[in-house]
């Protein structure tokens, strides 16, 4: 687990989590007190989105950009809005804040 206040507002962090019995890399994005999380897997080719472990690209328009092939994802629902997987989406991971700590999964 990680404290919400340890994530810079507007930033992405990568967390390792066990989801449905499998170890997964998860992207967490914070905006104020809101957090969203997705598997760190691009739907285009199944590769990680980060260019280095835990380092993510954000476009000038505020989109999450896959470092491998440039697919761009909006940060509300994780929908691909540009690039090779347009119309697809990142796989959301349930996340909530409890007592200032992020809790991933159901």
Write out pLDDT tens, residues 52-81: 999 999 999 999 999 999 999 999 999 999
Q: In this structure, is the dihedral angle defined by the CA atoms of residues 11, 96, 80 and 26, taken in order, positive or negative?
A: positive
Average predicted confidence (pLDDT) for the chain? 94
- Give the range of the structural domain holding residue 94, as residue numbers without chain letter: 4-104
Say how far apart CA 52 and CA 82 lie, in whole Å. Answer: 22
> 13: domain CATH number?
2.102.10.10
- Tell me the backbone φ, ψ of residue 5, rounded to 5 degrees: -70, -5
Please tell me the total count of domains within the chain. Answer: 1
Q: What is the pLDDT of residue 20?
A: 87
pLDDT in tens, 25-59: 999 999 999 999 999 999 998 899 999 999 999 99
Q: How confident is the model over 4-20, as a mean pLDDT?
A: 93
Q: What is the pLDDT of residue 50?
A: 95
Q: How confident is the model over 12-24, as a mean pLDDT?
A: 91
Is the predicted pLDDT of residue 1 greater than 80, yes or no?
no
- pLDDT band at 98, cuts 50/70/90? very high
HSE-up of 8 (CA within 13 Å, CB side)?
4
Residue 6 DSSP code: G
Query: Percent helix, strand and coil across the chain, each rounded to 5?
Result: 5, 45, 55
């Amino acid at each position: 687990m990680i404290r919400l206040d340890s994530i810079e507002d507007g930033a992405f962090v990568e967390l390792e989590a066990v989801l449905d019995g499998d170890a997964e890399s998860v992207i967490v994005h914070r905006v104020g007190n809101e957090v969203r999380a997705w598997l760190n897997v691009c739907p285009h080719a199944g590769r990680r989105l980060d260019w280095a472990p835990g380092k993510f690209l954000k476009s000038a328009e505020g989109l999450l950009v896959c470092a491998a092939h440039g697919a761009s994802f909006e940060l509300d629902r994780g929908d691909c809005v540009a690039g090779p997987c347009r119309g697809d989406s990142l796989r959301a991971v349930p996340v909530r804040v409890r007592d200032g700590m992020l809790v991933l999964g159901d």
